[in-house]
Amino acid sequence: MDSRLTGATQEIAAKLPPSTESAHWNQILTSLGQQHDKQQFIALYEYFAPKVKAYLLRFTSVDAQAEELAQETLLQVWRKAHLYDASKAAASTWIFCLARNIWIDLQRSAKQRIEQNLDFYDDLSLLQEQQTVQESGGIDEPEAANLAQRSKQQIAELLRGLPALQAQLVYKSYLEGKSHSEIAADLEIPIGSVKSGLRLAFKKLQQSLGVSL
Amino acid sequence: MMSPKHHPDEATLLSYAAGSLSAGAKLLLDCHLACCESCQRKVAQVEAFGGELLQAIPSAVMHRSIDQLLAKLDTPEQLQALQDGQANVKPHAPEWLPEWAQQLSPWLDHEQKDKDLWQRVAPGISQIRFDHERFAADKAVRLLRIAPGTCMPKHGHSGSELTLILQGSYSDETGRFCAGDVADLDPDIKHQPIADRDTPCICLIVTDAPLRFEGWIPKLMQPFFGL
Ligand SMILES: [Zn+2]
């Protein structure tokens, strides 16, 4: 177990993207469902397709496959936009679910365990650096920081409020696609501990995200 | 909508939202969610975390142009036809399969008569196993039909076990389980279900494949139907 994070026990701060930005995409997706306007689709594509591809690259290291599935996801956005209800979920959540389901449907047999591009420790070492910076008084994020780096920080940021084990369990669930028994085997802890850790994480995520719905 | 009394563990709901449940466990949850608003709300809450992750994740570079995809987009008329087509698909399913559990229908062999689907495993107990390769990551996915009043042997599990009641009811040390209810058991729980007296109890049972910890909890009993 990685003990570097034991200081990170504060509640998850609701690190939401500016709500206006979220609302913007919710609105575009809603109107896409009503009007099937290609310009709106292009806007959604340009913002979300690279993110969906990046998400899928967590599960497959085949770039062309991730890209194809990202396009398939956006095709479904076009087809199913009329089902989107902004009062129930943010556009990003709805598209996350489409991408997730496409990936699940593709897994025909036992999970394809393809080499993953990034792992928990890459993202967490970054979190560690951030915390050190913040503990020493905090600095402004440099304007020049590239998008990838900022985004990566945001993942770490989202997991920050969780104690180390819970952060790891959540990470493995969402970004490595591992089931309780797979996580138990990975971390060499009993399934019961995986479940109780995820139960606690559930409560914290619920508290921190509940307000944003 | 019905309101089930027993629900999956929140850890299980989180994994459902994350997309990391085994195929069998996901299928079981799909059915429960179709009849449980309370769990739908909880899943939506943790799916929102997935949305946050999607926004936070580093954007990848797209190599193909969007034009290919734009050329594939359905026209509004085609979209309408797609919607109409979906509304008309009514799968024919056995009468014991509730409306909210229609997702199980594709996994049943519709060529066979209902009585031939069920395979007897012990007095008063028969099963349908879902042996499709899709469920390879699950130790077993099966429907169990238990005759009224049948007492199952007391057993424990080396992995976790999810049970969804489709019809009838049973009781065990942890309570009474009726249609729509889920029992989400940790590996260390022993139980002895008894089907209630009025109707046969039909349930979907998904057992998790234990990986490295097979020997960690002593096998309390090797259940006779091979759980
Ligand atoms: Zn429920």
Please answer yes or no on whether B211 and A181 come within 8 Å at the CB atom: yes
Given this model, what pLDDT does residue B157 score?
65
Please answer yes or no on whether A110 and B188 come within 8 Å at the CB atom: no
Please answer yes or no on whether B55 and A53 come within 8 Å at the CB atom: no
Given this model, what pLDDT does residue B160 score?
78
A103 and A17 assigned to the same domain: yes
B193 confidence band (pLDDT: 50, 70, 90): confident
Among A154-158, B117-121, B177-181, the range of highest mean pLDDT: B177-181
A109 and A165 assigned to the same domain: no
A23 and A95 assigned to the same domain: yes
Looking at A58, A80, A114, which one is the last position of a domain?
A114
What are the structural domains of chain B?
Answer: 108-225 (2.60.120.10)
Nearest 5 degrees, angle CA B195-CA B5-CA B108? 60
A90 and A11 assigned to the same domain: yes
* pLDDT at residue A31 is higher than 70: yes
Given this model, what pLDDT does residue A18 score?
56
Given this model, what pLDDT does residue A25 score?
95
Calculate mean pLDDT across residues A134-145. Answer: 41
Looking at A98, A114, A130, which one is the last position of a domain?
A114
**Considering the domain boundaries, does residue A124 fall inside one?**
no
Calculate mean pLDDT across residues A137-155. Answer: 53
Which candidate, A108, A121, A111, A115, places its Cα nearest to that of A152? A121
Span from the CA of A85 to the centroid of ligand 1 (angstroms): 22
For residue A78, list chain B residues with Cβ-Cβ distance below 8 A. Answer: 73-74
- Range with the poorest average pLDDT among A75-79, A152-156, B96-100: A152-156
A93 and A5 assigned to the same domain: yes
**Considering the domain boundaries, does residue A121 fall inside one?**
no
Counting the structural domains of chain A, the total is 2
Please answer yes or no on whether B208 and A181 come within 8 Å at the CB atom: yes
Which candidate, A87, A82, A101, A94, places its Cα nearest to that of A48? A94
DSSP B21: S
Q: Which residues contact B227 (CB under 8 A, 6 or more apart)?
A: B139, B140, B155, B157, B161, B205, B207
Taking CA–CA distances from B212, the nearest residue in chain A reads: A185
**Considering the domain boundaries, does residue A132 fall inside one?**
no
The CA distance from B82 to B50, in Å, is: 28
Given this model, what pLDDT does residue B105 score?
92
Given this model, what pLDDT does residue B43 score?
97
A86 and A2 assigned to the same domain: yes
The share of chain A scoring above pLDDT 90, in percent, equals: 53
A103 and A30 assigned to the same domain: yes
Looking at A53, A85, A114, which one is the last position of a domain?
A114
ipTM of the complex: 0.85
Given this model, what pLDDT does residue B220 score?
37
| Beta-sheet pairing, B169-172 with B125-129 | unpaired
Q: What is the CATH number of the domain that holds A6?
A: 1.10.1740.10
**Considering the domain boundaries, does residue A47 fall inside one?**
yes
A22 and A106 assigned to the same domain: yes
Span from the CA of B29 to the centroid of ligand 1 (angstroms): 9
Residue range of the domain that includes A203: 161-213
pLDDT tens, residue by residue, A58-114: 888 889 999 999 999 999 999 999 999 999 999 999 999 999 999 988 875 434 444
pTM of the shown model: 0.82
A119 confidence band (pLDDT: 50, 70, 90): low
A207 confidence band (pLDDT: 50, 70, 90): confident
Are B198 and B148 contacting, i.e. CB atoms less than 8 angstroms apart? yes
- Range with the poorest average pLDDT among A153-162, A187-196, B193-202: A153-162
**Considering the domain boundaries, does residue A150 fall inside one?**
no
- Which stretches of B38-173 are assigned E, i.e. beta strand? 119-122, 125-129, 138-146, 161-167, 169-172
* Residue B177: φ, ψ to 5°: -115, 125
The CA distance from B137 to A102, in Å, is: 18
Polymer length of chain B: 227
